[in-house]
Amino acid sequence: MKTVVSHRTDHAGLAAIDITMTPEYGQKPLTLHPEHFRRMRAALKTGMRALKAPPRIAWVKIADADFFAPDTDAKFPDRTDRSMNACTAIELRGLGFALAESITNEFAKRDNVVNEIPLKSLGRARDEHEEGRVKRAIREWADADSVAAHIGYGIDFFCSGDYGKGAGAPSVLDPTSRSWLQATYGVKFVDISELAGML
């Protein structure tokens, strides 16, 4: 957090202090594991494209123009709205980002921290147990945003063999949430063999 303090005299001749606080984000380059990068390149060669997740903090710039599924048409604002509306509904059920947010609030309160960028508080884990909670919450957040991205793009099928059993709490991918997502958004969950059988 960058803080600028300036002193001035107001129109009545009284001393005043202006404080401006702005967040600062580190600009570390993203480095992928070579095997992960190889698999991504192979997937792109088959015609697969990445979906843009709901915008949370910032857009990730990718030099490869063919990396993301196209969204340059007039539907782009609708896609983003659909994704964010799905995220909000998921979070109101205590799933997705809501788990990470509850941990950030807990850690910040415990450490008497105020006005900290919420996600920075995830780094306040004190032991392996708390680190495990953070990891599970981030995985749940990624799963939920992935489902919301599919909803935003209007994709009929979500392919995953993950049923959220390792979440340590209810998950966006557990059977109850899957049923709700299908009833609410028409998301059809399939595993890889089911998807292959449709081709």
Q: How many domains does the chain have?
A: 1
Per-residue confidence (pLDDT) for residue 36, from 0 to 100: 83
Residue 20 contacts by C-beta under 8 Å, 6 or more apart in sequence? 3, 4, 6
12 and 28 in contact (C-beta within 8 Å)?
Answer: no
What b-and-e string marks burial along 18-37, b requiring 16 or more CB atoms within 10 Å of the CB? eeeeeeeeeeeeeeeeeeee
Tell which residue, 141, 153, 107, has the closest CA to residue 126. Answer: 107
Using an 8 Å Cβ cutoff, are 182 and 189 in contact? yes
Q: Tell which phi-psi region holds residue 174, choosing left (phi > 0), alpha (psi between -120 and 50) or beta.
A: beta
Range of the domain at 22: 2-198
In the block, residue with structure tokens 């570390």: 28
Between vectors from CA 181 to CA 88 and to CA 150, what angle results, nearest 5°?
75
Average pLDDT per run of 10 along the chain, which is 199 residues long? 53 56 54 82 87 68 73 67 93 93 92 82 91 92 94 92 80 95 96 89
pLDDT at 1: 46
